Each structure stands twice: as C-alpha cells, then as structure tokens.
Amino acid sequence: MNQSAETFLGLDQGIAPVDGATGATNGAEIDMIEWAECAFILNVGVISGTVDMKIQGTNTSGSGHADITGWAITQLAATADGSVVGLRVRAAATAFRYLRAVVTITGGAASFICVTNVPYGAVNTDATFGTWETAGNPSAS
C-alpha cells in the first residue's frame, strides 16, 4: 500500500510564531475523529523565564477544554534556548474528540515560540489537512 504524505500526515499551525510574554496561549484545535495520533511540536528561540506546554481536550469544538493529566512536557528553563520538544497523543488514549496545545510562559519571555500540530495515521484515507509540497522527484530511484 502506498500512502502519500497528504493522506497519512496532516499539518496545522497550532500556535503561530510569536515573541511571547508571561501568560498562556491556546493553540488551534485538532479534530481527532479522522486521525489515530497527533504530535504537538513546540519550537522556542531564546527563553528568559520558563516555558511549559500541555494538552487539553474537549468534546465540544471551541469550548470546555480541560487539562489531560500526564500530557505535558518537562518545563523548559532559561538554559533551554533553541529547544524543539514534542508530545505524541493517541486518539484512543483519550475520551476527547478535540485536542489543543497550551503554552505557558512564566517569569520572563520567550522569543520565536510556535507549535505545529501534526495529526497522522488517517482513519479515513480521504482525510487531508494542511499543504504538502514535493521536493525533487519521489518516484526517481
């Protein structure tokens, strides 16, 4: 079976690149009805405080999000400049349909912080999410 990236992997900008100050930023939701798993990938530039990322879920799109126990990164300290950290979530491991990342900055700021949502393992092969561009010729050997 030959699955293309478009039908196996999705792409979504969970949190657009920003320079963040103290506080929490909610990411975009992923509807897990069509996906088996999702990776939430956090990228940070320079950190002067601490940065946390956790996953929240709900069954009603746009409201009622709750923290999911155990689904959080180890806190990034000011010495973690340039870090890339991810959380992988299996749809079957949660009772929630909609998931999102929440990034919290405490005691300072963080430059160029963003989250990319990468849902994968499409349950429905017609599911597509995001835009993929092909580099080179994948059929060339």
Domain that holds residue 114: 13-121
CATH number, domain with residue 92 = 2.60.120.1110
Number of structural domains found in the chain: 1
In a domain, 85, yes or no: yes
In a domain, 100, yes or no: yes
Q: Is the pLDDT of residue 141 over 50?
A: no
Q: Is the pLDDT of residue 49 over 60?
A: yes
E strand residue ranges, the chain: 12-26, 30-31, 35-43, 50-58, 66-72, 84-90, 98-122
- pLDDT per position as a tens digit, 87-98: 999 988 888 999
- pLDDT per position as a tens digit, 4-21: 555 567 778 888 888 878
- pLDDT per position as a tens digit, 63-96: 999 999 999 999 999 999 999 999 999 988 888 9
Residue from 83, 78, 22, 86 nearest 50 by CA: 78
112-133 mean pLDDT:
71
Q: pTM of the entire structure?
A: 0.82
In a domain, 135, yes or no: no
In a domain, 138, yes or no: no
In a domain, 52, yes or no: yes
Whole-angstrom Cα distance, residue 42 to residue 83?
8
